[in-house]
A and B are shown apart, each in its own frame.
Chain A
């Protein structure tokens, strides 16, 4: 069976993805759930919980609520909390049990919007999908609610989309991406959604391009391309060569030229496991900096066009294990909790991923931005 885990964890779920993406935006996020979603999120999926306050709550859904369909309690509890805490907006999302009972989050959001006068979004998480889905939907809805088209572009300005600790931890990666953009002559506009003030984010429509640094930013980037005509590029400026390549491509799309996707050759002995855009970026960096052919196993949703022909989307533990046991594999770059799947004679270069191992290796998540790949992938 494919939906099993004998010895490895599962990735962060969609509900936590919503909370993570909206964490710093000044809103109130309510997960309609009994209890587990909140403690799981605040313990294992949110390193900011102890250092930065955010209005992330659960509804404390009960058996009786499930049977009686007590939406009024949810709505009035949210309105009461909003009256106390004055959020800039409200997001309400689901978990497994509301999915079972068919809770209508759009209707609930509409009712809350009417009663509170606050921008309110109903999100459609079920607790059965990955954080990519939840964070993507949350960012997309935030952009739809708050960002509008602007003809008044800031020359050379770039938004960063898809920044959450789930993919980058709480190290210096995001500020390094800002620095890299500045060093290459770009102006950093808004960063969705870490280390930016909500007021700065409202200017996102003035950007000339979007840089999508994880799959969680892709849906919003695509929306902004369609609605506002802002072009986007997917990639993380990891290593030296790939960082240069990305900067060139970014200039091209700002000048209304097409970006050229980087494609790697097949046949390497190195496998990378992780989030799609970040893993592809690392593989590209290894190809350019070290002439190492690596291929990516992506166990999370990713836009297929991101992947080279040698890359694979594999979700099941047994499929990943089979791939790692191929005779050609000499090195695996992955979160340390993948170690039990890796043959003893294969080298593991540990690359902790917060959305996989949570707090276990959080202080070992590296900042790989615009640095020599030799420093980490020796």
Chain B
């Protein structure tokens, strides 16, 4: 376990799962920020819209992070900004400053982008800025550009998280197309879904075209997403985006949570096949593949304690249950909340009550130390447990279903055999994005 014994804690950073209430794992308090940077932010996600230009309107402190995100990924030419001052809040120019600023920026560009993702901030929302009138005026001035209203509003994160909101805004500039009964879209991910996954094989085998914004190279290609009859999501942060596509274009939204439970995976595929009207394949070879991979990883990793974090996978408790059922010694889970894998949490609580859950942002995690060697799944787990034996994975990494389990287990085996310097890797922003820090 992480050694925190040297200090008494007013707000404990870890708890036995046996003592945890899944509806409120930890108290809120001041927050600490780990140096694990693989999670995508709204800039990374916005870059998924091909040819889009992002404009942020906010205070200097807020701008700094988004601008340097773009700089580090060599994308400064795709992001501009307008800074807000205290006076802007009170001098009656809140809306006109945005309109005039965006106009000025667009006039300076050598070529108009097809779409502008225009981000306002908490300050605008709190001041009641009329975003609709801003967008209407910009539309009048620039009829060749589509303006998407976007939000950098972390103060409102309890109402809608930035990740959820951004996943949804990505598809706002789509225009209705006739629905193609043989087209689907996978939405809400940072990375393409593994082409070997059963999910994509089912679509391919039955003649479906599958769109994915992470694979779109041009804006025209992006616009074709709107022909999809089916919208598939599997991360919880994508659910709202899927519902919006149903509302906006009449797509059938299928939320197939990225579970590590064989039965749930089977249920997902049954729902998919029944909805799109295709036969349910025989998954036994895929299950056998997953089992073989897990067995191989277990042979290597043996009884080494395993830590899993919630940045790596959307269902860390489900993954913990799967690994424990296959003989791994999962002892640590870094997660602030319980989401779609509440039943796995309950199972762990009943059967393995000594597993420790850690609050990722707890201030006392600053002094986390790990006296034992731990195998980690995820960047935060690697950081907190100071281990170079780790799977570098963020937001499921495109792995899904039985093949996803197989691939993850293969990654575990590889990570065990090949140590890598975790601090050099986890400092890179936006898992999978280009980075000037690797030069």
**Interface residues in chain A, defined as those with a beta carbon under 8 Å from any beta carbon in chain B:** 1, 3-16, 30, 34-40, 42-45, 49-50, 53, 55, 57-64, 66, 77-78, 80-81, 83-85, 95-97, 99-101, 126-130, 337, 340, 357-360
What are some 28 contacts across the A-B interface (CB < 8 A)?
A3-B82, A3-B84, A3-B101, A5-B81, A5-B83, A10-B60, A10-B64, A13-B59, A13-B63, A13-B64, A34-B157, A36-B152, A40-B62, A53-B367, A57-B31, A61-B155, A62-B157, A63-B157, A77-B29, A77-B30, A80-B29, A81-B10, A83-B8, A84-B9, A97-B122, A126-B86, A357-B71, A360-B68
Chain A: interface secondary structure? helix
Task: For residue B378, give the distance in angstroms from its CB to the closest CB of chain A.
Answer: 17
Residues of A within 8 A of B105 (CB): 4, 6
Find the B residue at minimum CB distance from A49.
B35
Contact residues, B85-131 vs A (CB, 8 A):
85-86, 89, 97, 100-101, 104-105, 108-109, 121-123, 126-127
Q: Which of B68, B83, B104 has the most CB of A within 10 A?
A: B68
Most chain B Cβ neighbours within 10 Å, of A3, A85, A95: A3
Q: What chain A residues lie within 8 Å of B101 (beta carbons)?
A: 1, 3-4
Decide: A39 and B65 in contact? CB cutoff 8 A: yes
- Which of these binds chain A: B133-141, B274-282, B358-366? B358-366
Q: Cβ of A53 and Cβ of B366 under 8 Å apart?
A: yes
Interface residues of B in 396-439 (CB under 8 A from A): 423, 427, 429, 436-437
Given A38-B31, A97-B126, A129-B60; A55-B363 close (CB under 8 Å): yes
In the assembled complex, which residues on chain B have CB atoms less than 8 Å from the CB atom of A85?
A: 7, 363-364, 366-367
Determine which residue in B77, B122, B127 has the highest number of CB atoms from chain A within 10 A of its CB, and name it: B122
Q: Cβ of A4 and Cβ of B104 under 8 Å apart?
A: yes
B8 touches A84 (CB 8 A): yes
Max count, chain A CB within 10 A of own CB: residue among B121, B363, B436? B363
B262 contact set on A, CB distance < 8 A: none
B117 to chain A, nearest CB (A): 16
Expressed in whole angstroms, the minimum distance between the Cβ of B89 and any Cβ of chain A is 6
CB distance from A54 to the nearest CB of B (A): 8
The one of A5, A15, A84 that contacts B61, using a Cβ cutoff of 8 Å: A15
B310 CB to nearest chain A CB (Å) = 16
Known pairs A77-B30, A81-B363, A100-B127 / 11 extra A-B pairs, C-beta < 8 Å: A5-B83, A6-B108, A36-B61, A39-B33, A44-B68, A55-B366, A66-B155, A81-B10, A84-B10, A96-B121, A340-B76
The residue of chain A having its C-beta at the shortest distance from the C-beta of B37 within the complex is: A43
Q: How far is the CA of A360 from the CA of B68 in the complex (A)?
A: 8
B158 within 8 A of A: yes
Given contacts A13-B61, A99-B86, A358-B68, contact A84 B31 (CB under 8 A): no
B33 touching A11, Cβ below 8 Å: no
Residue B217 CB within 8 A of the other chain: no
CB distance from B336 to the nearest CB of A (A): 11
A9 touches B71 (CB 8 A): yes
**Given known contacts A9-B71, A35-B31, A96-B84, A64 and B158 CB-to-CB distance under 8 angstroms:** yes
Closest to B366 in A: A53
Known: A7-B76, A84-B10, A360-B71. A16 touches B64 (CB 8 A): yes
Nearest A residue to B383, CB-CB? A50
Question: In the assembly, what is the distance between CA of A83 and CA of B80, in Å?
Answer: 43
Closest Cβ of chain B to A260, distance in Å, is: 36
